[in-house]
Structure 1
Amino acid sequence: MKKILFTLVMIVTGLSAALAQTEKGSRLAGVQVGNIVIPTSGGSGTIIGLQPAYGWFVSDGLVVGAGIPFFYVGSGGTNITQIGLTPFLRYYIGPSQVKPYFGGSIGVLNTSVSRTGSSSESSTDALYGLTGGLAFFINRSVSFDLALTYTGGNTGAVNSLIAGSANSLTPNIPKSLNINLGFQVYFGK
């Protein structure tokens, strides 16, 4: 009987802690530390980048925030640097320790390309992203996230800077499917 009572107490405690993580007034800070790109319009490539993010829960499960994607690629005398600002909305579903979520973002991204022996070029483009994923809460304050993101937007200027045609040299090239790995830290009210 003690084992059953202990198990019930642990389940109730776990559910209440999981609910409190994404309640109105809480905040999150995190970083996407991995990004594997699967191009949907030709090309090839794999890039690892960083995207810190910060947000506020405006209602239970709904967070509003912003991310700062930063990527650098250097190869064969070509250096590509991207930095942007992407406000986002994300909604977490359910009270469990593994929470599905979905969301969207829209923002701007500056891409600079420099090649050995030639001048630098840059372009600033609008982009958007649609995301679905799972947040694996290891405790009340930390989750590891696995997500799938489709990135869309204006491809013309970025692609002409990089290679003259659609490709996926960088994670935020529009029209790409991204597998994202990251973690979030959740702060109470």
Structure 2
Amino acid sequence: MKSMFFVLILFVLGFSTAMAQTEKGNRLMGVNVGNITIPTSGGGGTIVSLQPTYGWFVANNLVIGAGIPFFNVSSNGSRATQIGLTPFLRYYVGPSQVKPFFGGSLGIVNTSASSNGSNAGSSTDALYSLTGGVAFFINKSVSFDLGLTYTGGATGSLNTLLAGSANALTPNIPKALNLSLGFQVYFGK
């Protein structure tokens, strides 16, 4: 009987802790530290990038924030760098410590490229993304996230700037599925 009572108390504490993570008024800060891009429109290769994020919970389980996507690739004397700003919206589902989430973002990205040390040009383009995934809360303040994101937009200029034709050096980042691994830190009111 004592063990059943102990399990019930742990369950209630775990439930209330999980609810507190995504309550209205809380904030989150995190980063996607591994973002492997799988092109869906021809081409090949993978891209590893970084995206820090910051957001506020405007309602229980609903966060609005912004991310700063950063991408850098170099190969055979060619180099490309992208940096942008992407406001996002994310909704967490359920009260447990394993919370599915879904959301989207709309933003801009600036691409600059060089080939053999000379500037190949730059471009600023719009992009959007739709995402879904699971946040694994290891305690009341930290989650590890696994997500799948579809990215679209008009940033095909990356390959054009680098080599004059699409898919010459890197996959066309828009129209791509991104498998992302990251972590978030949650702050109270």
TM-score bin, normalised by smaller chain: over 0.9
Tell me which residue corresponds to 1:165. 166
Q: CA RMSD in A?
A: 1.5
Change (3 A) 1:155 1:81: closer
On the 8 A contact 1:41/1:166 being kept in 2, the answer is no
Q: CA deviation at 1:25?
A: 0.1
TM-score (norm 2): 0.95
- 1:12-91 map, 5 Å: 12-91=12-91
SS of residue matched to 1:119: strand
Change (3 A) 1:13 1:102: same
CA distance in 2, matches of 1:140, 1:156: 41
- 1:117-128 map, 5 Å: 118-128=118-128
Tell me which residue corresponds to 2:146. 146
SS of residue matched to 2:25: coil
Structure 1 runs (4+) deviating above 6 angstroms are: none
Identical positions, percent? 69
Query: How many residues end up aligned between the 2 structures?
Result: 188
On the 8 A contact 2:92/2:100 being kept in 1, the answer is yes
- The worse-fitting range, judged by mean Cα deviation, of 54-63 and 110-119 is 110-119
On the 8 A contact 1:31/1:182 being kept in 2, the answer is yes
* Deviation readout 1:10-54 (Å, 9 max, x if unpaired): 000000000000000000000000011111000111122110000
Tell me which residue corresponds to 1:185. 185
Q: CA deviation at 1:74?
A: 1.4
* Deviation readout 1:154-183 (Å, 9 max, x if unpaired): 14433322341157826x811000000000
Structure 1 unaligned residues grouped into runs of 5+:
none
Q: CA deviation at 1:117?
A: 5.2
